[in-house]
Amino acid sequence: MSFTSKQISFLCFLYCSLLFQQNVEAQEGYHKSVVKEGIKIDFSLSHLHSGKPINEFREGDHVLFQFKISDTITGKPLSGSFPAAWMDKTNKNKPVDCGRKIVSFIEGALLSRPELDLNVYYVLTLNDDNTINVVDPLFGFGGSQLLTQIQIPGTGYDWAIKENQTMVYVSMPKANQVALINTSEMKNEANISIPGQPKEIVLQPDEHYLWVSYDLSGKFEANSGVAVIDTEKKVLIKTIQTGSGSHNIVAGKDNDYIYVTNQNSQTISVIDVQSLEKVKDISIRDIPVSIAYSEKANALYVVNKKSSIISVIDRTTLQVIEEINGKKGIDKITFAPDGRLGFVLNPLANTISIIDSATNRIIQSADVDEQPDEVSFSDELAYVRHLGSEIIWMIPLDVIGKEGAEIPLIDFTGGQNPPALGAAKNGASGIIQAPGANAVLVSNYLDKSIYYYSEGMAAPSGHFSTYGKHPKAVQVIDKSIEETAPGVYQTTAQLRTPGDYEISLFLDVPSFMECFAVNVLPNKEKEKKRLKEILGPISIHYLSSNNHAKVGTDVPVKFELLDVKTSKQVSELKDVKIMTMNSAGRGYHSIAVKESEIKGVYKTNLKFEEEGLHYIYVECLSRGLTFNNPQFMALYAYE
């Protein structure tokens, strides 16, 4: 049989229509290299989780975006390039120039917002109730920056984040649980029960185990200790009794030991990470209220509450090798990122002292505002928060460390009220560095706000509302691209919806723009759910074998009606009708259809008097099926 041009057009239309009902062929695993302007870009997209087909990507998949950037002449990797990337759907009928699209993303046009922005970070606030706010600080939807509010079983006390930013762990003392927050979906994925009230939580360096201190409510003389959670299996694997009283935890740098303070027992317990057994209890002067690890000295520093002595424990011998006398009232010790200088707070005397771990001496001290209660760090500064003042002091890290020298103090206002005033005691930080900037975020409990302070400014340059919630602490989930090795830039994300996409890459210096095409397939279970929502209560399965017929001849039309929920045939329906319409809007408006000898299968004959494409629709009002449902059949009538 020969086909006319109209028939060929119809067959093309029919093929495209059938794609809705057929499986789309999966793409190969994605990798593409581009060379231009003296730069080579190797882009790859891969699955984060094992067990996924390497040759396809589906909505809901957690993936790794990786860009390897190198110089084509020398072959050397290009470090410090700061690439930006976006992922957005494409429209084959309305192609957009790659460069023009990237410019619109950079300018932040409202109508040009991509589906995935790979350059963003999110601010999380640990609130005084059982919620965690997730705020987008870079873009507000309709004037609101609140993206979602995560519900957890109890009030959070402390939290820890995996290095790849995919999971947040939150301790909830009153719920006796630890919540697992999936940051790709920003949802409470699971809750792990703890045999006590979980407080401090620490990830060991390789992140294989999460260590959770727990107390026994009302049983201060009873032994409590730490719970060990396997982060891959997401299960509690062991609890280890260390001693009585409250506990603090620190981890060694080599995944070898975990150190736990026992306030009532006045000891430091040493736990072997490999065997998950307590191997030693180190006795100290009196009540250990704070512990910190100095990588520079390879030693532990423990604040004794009663004597105000700081015990120094050698990590190799597990012996107290030094005692540093502090002023009465010291209660917290924290080391700067390089591990040399330790900052000791004294809320009773309103002072801060600095210990040099090279000499184990207090080398500098300064008066600060009322009741200093927290020290946090950026790359350049130490930030001292106060419980009795809204003033936050800043100490430049590059000019301290000289014995006897004055500590330079700079200040800014962290809100209208003291940032932590009114908040219940917790283990999480209220000041944290903002990604990619010399800036910090400060949570303010009574102000119900997060303040953004840029270093060098006299005051915060902005703030984010916590939407009626009292924030006890603040944290950042950094989803932006970062350099993980020389010339290797990557980030992770969850693919949201199926379709054809372009991943747009931009480099400022050296100047570079490129777009990479990627296909995301539907998730089969989600696709079924969507189809059920689209189809309504009845699914139509057309059984006619021919999709074309000669003008003026009878055409048998047969279909079965299925219940969407049960997938079973629906029989004995008396109000089934069909309607036809051609491209000019003419056709049969309502034709009664009877059930055939096969239950649930309905049939009739049609005759078309005009050449062209005809559409057939089915209605059954008694079952909620109307003619405007999307389950139509297309048939071509030819001369």
Nearest-angstrom CA–CA distance, 101 and 162: 33
Q: Which sign, positive or negative, has the C-alpha torsion 626, 628, 630, 635?
A: positive
Whether the full predicted model's pTM is greater than 0.95, yes or no, is no
DSSP assigned state of 279: E
- Read off the pLDDT of each residue in 80-87 and give the average, rounded to a whole number: 92
Kindly provide the b/e burial profile for residues 295-329, where b requires at least 16 CB atoms within 10 angstroms of the residue's own CB. Answer: ebbebbbbbbbebbbbbbbebeebebeebbebeee
The CATH superfamily of 152-283 is YVTN repeat-like/Quinoprotein amine dehydrogenase (2.130.10.10)
DSSP assigned state of 569: B
In the chain, CATH 2.60.40.1930 covers: 28-117+484-521, 528-638
Instruction: Residue 479: name the closest of 63, 150, 126, 140 by CA.
Output: 63
Instruction: Residue 451: name the closest of 215, 65, 223, 135 by CA.
Output: 135
- Read off the pLDDT of each residue in 422-426 and give the average, rounded to a whole number: 95
Task: Tell me how far the alpha carbon of residue 415 is from its chain's centroid.
Answer: 28
Read off the pLDDT of residues 439-496 as tens digits, 9 standing for 90 and up: 999 999 999 999 999 998 989 988 888 999 999 999 999 988 989 999 999 998 888 8
Residue 452: how many other CB atoms lie within 10 Å: 19
User: At residue 18, does pLDDT exceed 70?
Assistant: no
Query: How does DSSP assign 74-131, residue by residue?
Result: T--B--S---EEEEEE--TTS---HHHHHHHHHHT-GGG--SEETT-EEEEEEESSSE
Read off the pLDDT of residues 320-355 as tens digits, 9 standing for 90 and up: 999 999 999 999 999 999 999 999 999 999 999 999
State the pLDDT confidence band at 436, using cuts at 50, 70 and 90: confident
User: At residue 143, does pLDDT exceed 50?
Assistant: no
Residue 257: beta bridge partners? 272
Segment (H or E) for 321: strand 319-325
Residue 279: how many other CB atoms lie within 10 Å: 11
pLDDT given at position 221? 64
Q: 541: burial class by Cβ within 10 Å (0-12, 13-18, 19+)?
A: middle
Q: Is the peptide bond before 198 cis (omega within 30 degrees of 0)?
A: no
CATH of 28-117+484-521, one of 3.20.20.70, 1.10.150.570, 2.60.40.1930, 3.40.109.10: 2.60.40.1930
Residue 489: beta bridge partners? 67, 483
Read off the pLDDT of residues 567-579 as tens digits, 9 standing for 90 and up: 899 999 999 999 9
Q: Is residue 42 within 8 Å of 488, Cβ to Cβ? A: no
CATH architecture group of domain 528-638:
Sandwich (2.60)
